A and B are shown apart, each in its own frame.
Chain A
């Protein structure tokens, strides 16, 4: 086969030269032989349109990389999709999406208008993919559902104690939280966000919102004029090798006057929309962190419901942004939610956020709480750190971005739920006015709603994010963490963000890694199985699962890049930054060399790989709906 390929290549090269007759003759034979090979068995190398080494085993089979219209296995398959119309389609059943849905229906009922609102959510049930600390500021909730207490919202733990400390390897240096500092948590609630989201889902359903968990939005649909028409849900029944199975079914199209995209941090459809509509031309690139979290049932004697603890410092060095949280929940049993956040602009490719988290738990001040306890849950998710400077354009014809997808997180407060909810509510309000405006003359088939951006700029979200905009970037200095804390203590506490300058971020997180040869490997302690644990048992606790016979949804633009670049230059950092053990470099079965093995089934949908891959070769796309973690109140 290699010979054949070689001949075809040389033919296309010697196109008009010396021996055209012989070339053409040989080429015809080659093409016939190739066709026979194609029909006979699916040898992946044949389809590669780029010339990759024949020793690179095929990893990616997804149709977003290998289009089906050019794939003979898909010839004759029925690709028509059933389509349905709604007024508003919302992608993502999280705090932003559900708040938007609730607000839309509230307005519809108030003004006695009919409004069809559909929410699609990739998790098998609402709340199953939700993961957060979480310390909720109830400002948005008070506006959305003022009688939330009577309705049974699971806000059971008001914050009673608020502690902040700098950790060293053995000691804990408490830092006073002065009123006015963003970390002050008075009036807030510790919640299990997954349960809160589930409750929001129930409120939405009561109001008549159509919720469809288990169906992922896989594709954005466009009108002829380029405006967004809606979304299409994922196809099902595609085999691991990319071919159709007997149970293949096309996804469904949901058309809407306006589509709200609330996919959470680093959404995959949002990634496409940024390119399509050039939404990021006037803002800084988004920067991120990864948050890992566990739930523990601890010894009752150590339980202090309402206690909120945060720390910075050990085990991270002063130039790696990150810190921890430990919240004592009041939900019947002595439960604590704890976790660790690491900024994804870290430079050492040997850093493993998961192992930093595990080793942090061995700090004496943390171990004293956890000793005698039992771990019952684990999960991880990327979060936004870019704040004000990284907010992109939020509206485009036919659609709007809401929640953590564009990114409204208040980084020093480490809270993004209240702003996500508020953004959903504002999107709903501005969309409602436009949709129900009988005299509307829209230039595009999909509605363009710039009023959303204006409403955001007038709201408390904008003021809040503007005030804290310089805190995170202030860490980019020689003194790192301490420089940042100094800046916060001086400038923020006195000026509350009124300083006239706006600091910049450092650029893309994926560009921050130094080559492995310039960095020192980190010696992580072995997990002891009581306080710290290994990766695989942790992943098992996340309950993640995917239909195994489907194309891996962690797609690579080029299958040869992982070994050639990620492994060669950075020693395969994806083995370390993935909190679910998806990426493994294993020896090739045939002789020497390594290959990348993608254990797609382990994926917890955190999006870190898509963010941190130094080659930006990994493109996370949505797997078959219902796949992914099965978080319960995370």
Chain B
């Protein structure tokens, strides 16, 4: 079981005039790139006959179904669409999503949850870790290599200092990093076949999850415009300018 995220892939983010968020209307939503890698890994495990079934899960409004279809076209067997829309969707964050995943994992009796390490719209990098904590499962995050050895999972993790290899017991949560694999294309014949695969609709309430947010967004602003630099001729000028600006 794994969970791709719907995320924004806008060319140019625009802050909404009321500063409560960014404009999402009409912007192409597509699968989070790290989640594409997660889907690919899950499908690879199935092709190696190491897992029996791959279930794609996503939380969000109606458009999310297209993303689940892409996962199905890549090789997932069935999909679960957890319906969250409107105001709830705008405030949906890692804590609520991980509660949903934890509930689903128990319901589906999943052995493995694979997701992208972080979403490229909010860059939180929290969902995988929170899900593992809620389930009290071991976690292998930032995975660049995953191997099944008997009933344990060997995960090579990308960390600041290099690569760390750990062995964790199943059931477990794994989050995918960039170098785990190269996702396959969802080809048109597979998209057509995916239309026949099942996607089940579920509401968070059905799973006993409260999606209200503990966070309140006060305002969203564009990053400040970068000021143009100033060229100086000599070191003396540089020191003068720094003194002028009160820096030294």
Interface residues of A (CB under 8 A from B): 82, 84, 124-125, 127-128, 194-195, 198, 210, 212, 215, 233, 236-237, 246-247, 249, 251-252, 333, 376-377, 540-545, 630, 632-633
**What residues on A are CB-neighbors of B183 within 8 Å?**
247
Given contacts A125-B28, A198-B26, A247-B185, contact A543 B192 (CB under 8 A): no
Stretch at the interface among B6-14, B84-92, B93-101, B144-152: B6-14
Query: Which of A128, A249, A377, A540 contacts B185 (CB under 8 A)?
Result: A249
Given contacts A125-B28, A632-B26, contact A542 B182 (CB under 8 A): no
Given contacts A128-B28, A198-B26, A249-B184, contact A544 B189 (CB under 8 A): no
A544 to B12 Cα, complex, angstroms: 10
**What residues on B are CB-neighbors of A544 within 8 Å?**
11
**What residues on A are CB-neighbors of B185 within 8 Å?**
236-237, 247, 249
Query: Which of B14, B28, B182, B187 contacts A246 (CB under 8 A)?
Result: B182
Cβ of A251 and Cβ of B188 under 8 Å apart?
yes
Cβ of A633 and Cβ of B26 under 8 Å apart?
yes
Segment 170-208 of B: residues with Cβ below 8 Å from A: 182-185, 187-189, 191-192
B161 within 8 A of A: no
B30 within 8 A of A: yes
Pull 9 A–B residue pairs with CB atoms less than 8 Å apart, ordered by A: A84-B189, A124-B30, A195-B26, A210-B192, A333-B17, A376-B12, A377-B12, A540-B11, A632-B27
Cβ of B28 and Cβ of A124 under 8 Å apart?
yes
**What residues on B are CB-neighbors of A542 within 8 Å?**
11
**What residues on A are CB-neighbors of B28 within 8 Å?**
124-125, 128, 630
**What residues on B are CB-neighbors of A215 within 8 Å?**
188
Cβ of B14 and Cβ of A376 under 8 Å apart?
yes
Residue of B nearest to A198 (CB): B26
Q: Given known contacts A215-B188, A543-B10, A543-B12, what 9 new A-B pairs fall within 8 Å (CB)?
A: A84-B192, A233-B188, A247-B184, A249-B184, A333-B17, A541-B12, A543-B11, A545-B11, A630-B11
Cβ of B191 and Cβ of A212 under 8 Å apart?
yes
Query: Which of B12, B30, B182, B191 contacts A540 (CB under 8 A)?
Result: B12
Count of inter-chain pairs, beta carbons less than 8 A: 53
A545 to B27 Cα, complex, angstroms: 14
Residue of B nearest to A542 (CB): B11
Nearest Cβ on chain B to A350's Cβ, whole angstroms: 29
**What residues on A are CB-neighbors of B30 within 8 Å?**
124
**What residues on B are CB-neighbors of A630 within 8 Å?**
10-11, 28
Cβ of B11 and Cβ of A247 under 8 Å apart?
no
**What residues on A are CB-neighbors of B17 within 8 Å?**
333
Query: Which of A82, A127, A210, A237 contacts B189 (CB under 8 A)?
Result: A82
Nearest Cβ on chain B to A528's Cβ, whole angstroms: 13
Nearest Cβ on chain B to A153's Cβ, whole angstroms: 15
Cβ of B26 and Cβ of A249 under 8 Å apart?
no
Name A's interface SS. mixed
Segment 9-67 of B: residues with Cβ below 8 Å from A: 10-12, 14, 17, 26-28, 30
A545 to B30 Cα, complex, angstroms: 14
A398 to B209 Cα, complex, angstroms: 55
A233 to B185 Cα, complex, angstroms: 13
Nearest Cβ on chain A to B96's Cβ, whole angstroms: 27
Cβ of A249 and Cβ of B12 under 8 Å apart?
no
A195 to B26 Cα, complex, angstroms: 8
List the 9 closest A-B pairs by CB distance, nearest first: A543-B11, A632-B26, A82-B189, A252-B188, A236-B185, A630-B11, A215-B188, A252-B189, A249-B187
Nearest Cβ on chain A to B29's Cβ, whole angstroms: 9
A198 to B182 Cα, complex, angstroms: 31
Residue of B nearest to A81 (CB): B189
A630 to B185 Cα, complex, angstroms: 20
Nearest Cβ on chain B to A135's Cβ, whole angstroms: 20
Nearest Cβ on chain A to B107's Cβ, whole angstroms: 32
Residue of B12, B14, B182 with most partner-chain A CB within 10 A = B12
Nearest Cβ on chain A to B73's Cβ, whole angstroms: 11
Residue of B183, B188, B189 with most partner-chain A CB within 10 A = B188
**What residues on A are CB-neighbors of B11 within 8 Å?**
540-545, 630
Nearest Cβ on chain A to B37's Cβ, whole angstroms: 13
Residue of A nearest to B189 (CB): A82
**What residues on B are CB-neighbors of A251 within 8 Å?**
187-188
A377 to B10 Cα, complex, angstroms: 12
**What residues on B are CB-neighbors of A212 within 8 Å?**
188, 191
**What residues on A are CB-neighbors of B184 within 8 Å?**
247, 249
A541 to B14 Cα, complex, angstroms: 11
Residue of A nearest to B30 (CB): A124
A82 to B187 Cα, complex, angstroms: 10
**What residues on A are CB-neighbors of B10 within 8 Å?**
543, 630
**What residues on A are CB-neighbors of B14 within 8 Å?**
376
A215 to B187 Cα, complex, angstroms: 9
Residue of A nearest to B27 (CB): A632
Residue of A nearest to B16 (CB): A333
Query: Which of B26, B187, B189, B191 contacts A236 (CB under 8 A)?
Result: B187
Cβ of B188 and Cβ of A247 under 8 Å apart?
no
Residue of B nearest to A545 (CB): B11
Residue of A nearest to B63 (CB): A125
Cβ of B182 and Cβ of A247 under 8 Å apart?
yes
Residue of B nearest to A215 (CB): B188
A87 to B26 Cα, complex, angstroms: 31
**What residues on B are CB-neighbors of A247 within 8 Å?**
182-185
Nearest Cβ on chain B to A535's Cβ, whole angstroms: 16
A342 to B183 Cα, complex, angstroms: 43
A85 to B243 Cα, complex, angstroms: 75
A413 to B27 Cα, complex, angstroms: 31
Nearest Cβ on chain A to B70's Cβ, whole angstroms: 9
**What residues on B are CB-neighbors of A249 within 8 Å?**
184-185, 187
Nearest Cβ on chain A to B139's Cβ, whole angstroms: 29
A308 to B26 Cα, complex, angstroms: 25
**What residues on A are CB-neighbors of B187 within 8 Å?**
82, 236, 249, 251-252
Nearest Cβ on chain B to A545's Cβ, whole angstroms: 7
Nearest Cβ on chain B to A581's Cβ, whole angstroms: 16
Residue of A nearest to B192 (CB): A84
A212 to B185 Cα, complex, angstroms: 14
**What residues on A are CB-neighbors of B189 within 8 Å?**
82, 84, 252
